[in-house]
């Protein structure tokens, strides 16, 4: 085991947001459509589609909706032509911000996202300007007492995980590459090791400390971005201050 959690600030923010809202079925359907379009309609052969379907099931999206979204992606049914877009820029305190979108109207989306950056005192950058500050990872979070470090290391590392690290507040996190995410998930599930969450995310290589004032402005900006219908995910390299009780 090495180091400590890189997922703390993302999870801290997501926990608060997930309590009040989850992705709409429209966003989940768009995710499925694009995944099926890019890699085919079989979740067993298309890892991105499998994750999109898992996300939809977790949100209690009806099976018929999932099936139709897959068929729209493969062309069996007519539907909107979505494309994947990633916008990069800087938010308050020059924090790096990645915005992942699925849209059927690129002009609308870029204008709206740029406006949110600008109103928050930030600025959108060129493609590739900050992407190197992040890496795609899979993260599984375990609460304290669910599993020992030794058990997690034996099972997860054998399945292809990169590391097991201490989680903020206790427990452990299993880190893996995107490519090995589902192999590790299958191994953890087979061992009946219950994780609080398992997902892929863009994890910052290095973080930037942010004070309370800038953190508040940054979180408001992220909220506005995530409320946009075309925005799927937002990631930053901010090291947010701990919240006071």
CATH assignment of the domain containing 142: 3.30.70.980
| Cβ(92)–Cβ(116) below 8 Å | no
Q: How far apart are CA 32 and CA 34, in angstroms?
A: 6
Domain co-membership, 146 together with 195: yes
Quote the CA–CA distance of 67 and 41 in Å, as a whole number: 9
Which residue intervals of the chain are DSSP H helices? 8-18, 25-39, 47-58, 63-74, 106-119, 149-158, 181-190, 212-227
Residue 112's domain comprises 83-132+206-239
pLDDT band at 34 (very low <50, low <70, confident <90, very high): very high
Judgement on whether residues 92 and 192 belong to the same structural domain of the protein: no
HSE (CB half, 13 Å, CA atoms) of 6? Answer: 25
The pTM for the full model equals 0.79
Does residue 24 sit within a domain? no
How confident is the model at residue 95, as a pLDDT? 96
Count: domains in the chain: 2
Per residue in 75-117, pLDDT tens? 999 877 888 999 999 999 999 999 999 999 999 999 999 999 9
List, for residues 1-21, the tens digit of each pLDDT value: 444 455 545 544 444 444 334
Q: Does one domain contain both 183 and 90? A: no
DSSP state of 124: E
- Rounded distance, CA 85 to CA 15, Å? 25
The answer on pLDDT for 72 being more than 80 is yes
**Pair 89, 117 in one domain:** yes
In a domain, 114, yes or no: yes
Same domain, 200 and 95: no
pLDDT of 242 over the 90 cut: no
38, 72 Cβ separation under 8 angstroms: no
């Amino acid at each position: 085991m090495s180091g400590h959690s890189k997922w703390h600030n993302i999870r801290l923010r997501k926990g608060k947001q997930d309590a009040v809202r989850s992705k709409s079925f429209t966003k989940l359907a768009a995710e499925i459509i694009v995944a099926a379009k890019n890699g085919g309609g079989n979740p067993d052969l298309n890892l991105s589609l499998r994750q999109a379907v898992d996300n939809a099931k977790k949100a209690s999206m009806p099976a018929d909706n999932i099936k139709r979204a897959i068929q729209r992606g493969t062309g069996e049914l007519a539907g909107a032509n979505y494309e994947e877009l990633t916008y990069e820029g800087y938010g308050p305190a020059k924090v790096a911000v990645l915005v992942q979108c699925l849209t059927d109207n690129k002009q609308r989306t870029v204008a709206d996202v740029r406006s949110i950056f600008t109103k928050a005192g930030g600025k959108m950058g060129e493609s590739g300007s900050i992407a190197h500050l992040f890496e795609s990872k899979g993260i599984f979070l375990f609460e304290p007492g669910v599993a020992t470090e030794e058990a997690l290391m034996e099972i997860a590392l054998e399945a292809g995980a990169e590391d097991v690290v201490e989680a903020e507040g206790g427990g452990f996190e299993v880190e893996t590459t995107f490519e090995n995410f589902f192999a590790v998930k299958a191994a953890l599930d087979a061992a009946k090791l219950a994780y609080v969450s398992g997902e892929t995310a863009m994890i910052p290589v290095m973080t930037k400390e942010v004070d309370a004032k800038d953190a508040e402005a940054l979180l408001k900006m992220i909220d506005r971005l995530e409320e946009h219908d075309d925005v799927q995910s937002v990631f930053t390299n901010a090291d947010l201050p701990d919240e006071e009780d």
